[in-house]
A and B are shown apart, each in its own frame.
Chain A
Amino acid sequence: MQELINIFVKSIFIDNMVFAYFLGMCSYLAVSKNVKTAVGLGLAVIFVLGVTLPVNFLLHKYILSSGSLVWLNPDYADIDLSFLSFIIFIAVIASMVQLVEMIVEKFSPGLYSSLGIFLPLIAVNCAILGGSLFMQERGYETLAQATVFGLGSGLGWFLAIVALAAIREKLSYSNVPAPLRGLGITFIVVGLMGIAFMSFMGIKL
């Protein structure tokens, strides 16, 4: 249990998707102009990461990683399908996003209309694929670990985008040098936020 909490806290603060690895930057910068839409996109990311990571974990464990097909037939012990993982992961993510979209549309039209265009866009958000690839690279062992890692990374991304959106709302009232206006100052603000987040790095879990 303690291990799961460690993974959770670590993926939110120390290995924050945005500040430590710059994942999902494109939508992070594009959709952070106001807090309301940022919250919508952040929630969608938490949800999709929480759903796709367990699925990809099972695929990785029972189909893709080297020698994992033994449960089908002991002769398959030396088959390594890990070169297929990119294409399988992205297919899972794209279809999961589609599925999530249909479910949300059916059962909660209110949430669906507030998320709008963001749901389909999540398929190409690199934080999602990055989550699956990190799960593979760091070798999480159980389904619970992978799920907790997914939810934690999503929550970290959520916090990051809401914080930036809040800062950008205030920033629009300040007098920024003209060439730096808009995109330039946003980059620098994200950089400074990243430096602030580095202070979590000292925590050993």
Chain B
Amino acid sequence: MNNKKIFIEPLFRNNPVTVLVLGICSALAVTVKLEPALVMALSVTIVMGFSNVIISLIRNTIPNRIRIIVQLVVVAMLVILVDQVLKAYAYEVSKQLSVFVGLIITNCIIMGRIEAFALANKPIPSLIDGLGNGLGYGIILVVVAFFRELFGSGTLLGYQIIPNALYIKNGGFYENNGLFILPPMALILVGLFIWVQRSVTKELIEKK
């Protein structure tokens, strides 16, 4: 597989969230607003890129029996770095993300890509695979967060998008849809995303 294909595949056709069903926990919990979703997507991409490279560099020296522990330690170290950087430079967002930054450690996308790709490939393709999957994960986060923030709060990245004059309290007809703020809506949105994706790419449809 060439590098371009490694990068493009996970963005849509082989998306880690909607096709491989990896990393859903964090994908859903941080998508109430667009900003934390962007930060989360960036953090996961960075951790995944670096962990893939590190594991790929030492792949021939890791004893097979203890590889899970080695992988966890490498990932945990990277997550601690990301967490500390976020606490220092983006404290508000890091508070909103709360435990979910720590949960990147057990994000199955990262372990999944290390197991499936980095353990068997050279560092450069592993880096590209990590970044591609990170972005594929990021796309779902951003799409879900976009709809949830737009319909749930009428804002995007904190800026008011739906004109204030349209709201009922200002004499208009519009009201924010509170359902979009609630956690279950993220699941339903991902479900609809899968529906759209599988209507476009028919070969993903599951057999009866």
Residues of A within 8 A of B (CB): 19-26, 29-30, 83-87, 90-91, 94, 123-126, 128-130, 133-134, 137, 177-188, 190-195, 198
**B194-A26 in contact (CB<8A):** no
Chain A residues with CB below 8 A from B204, complex form: 179
Q: Which 8 interchain pairs have the tightest Cβ spacing? A: A194-B184, A187-B191, A182-B206, A191-B187, A179-B198, A191-B188, A133-B99, A188-B191
Partner of B105, one of A23, A129, A191, A193: A129
In the complex, chain B residues whose CB is within 8 Å of the CB of A24: 25
**Chain A residue contacts of B205, Cβ below 8 A:** 178-179, 181
CB distance from B95 to the nearest CB of A (A): 10
Interface pair A87/B80, CB less than 8 Å apart: yes
List CB contacts (< 8 Å) of B45-94 with chain A.
68-69, 72-73, 76-77, 79-80, 83-84
Interface residues on chain B, size class: 35 or more
Q: What are 19 pairs between A and B in contact, CB < 8 Å?
A: A21-B183, A22-B28, A26-B23, A84-B80, A86-B79, A86-B102, A90-B106, A124-B68, A133-B103, A178-B198, A181-B205, A181-B208, A184-B192, A184-B198, A185-B191, A188-B187, A193-B184, A194-B182, A198-B182
Judged by a CB distance under 8 angstroms, whether B1 is at the interface is: no
| Bound Cα distance from A195 to B180, whole angstroms | 11
Chain B interface residues (CB < 8 Å from chain A): 18, 21-26, 28-29, 68-69, 72-73, 76-77, 79-80, 83-84, 98-99, 102-103, 105-108, 111, 179, 182-188, 190-192, 194-199, 202, 204-206, 208
A contact patch SS? helix
* Chain B residue contacts of A83, Cβ below 8 A: 80, 83-84
Task: Evaluate whether A191 and B206 lie within 8 angstroms (CB atoms) in the complex, with A86-B79, A86-B80 already known.
Answer: no
In the complex the two chains form, is A198's CB within 8 Å of B184's CB? yes
**Min C-beta distance of A29 to chain B, whole Å:** 6
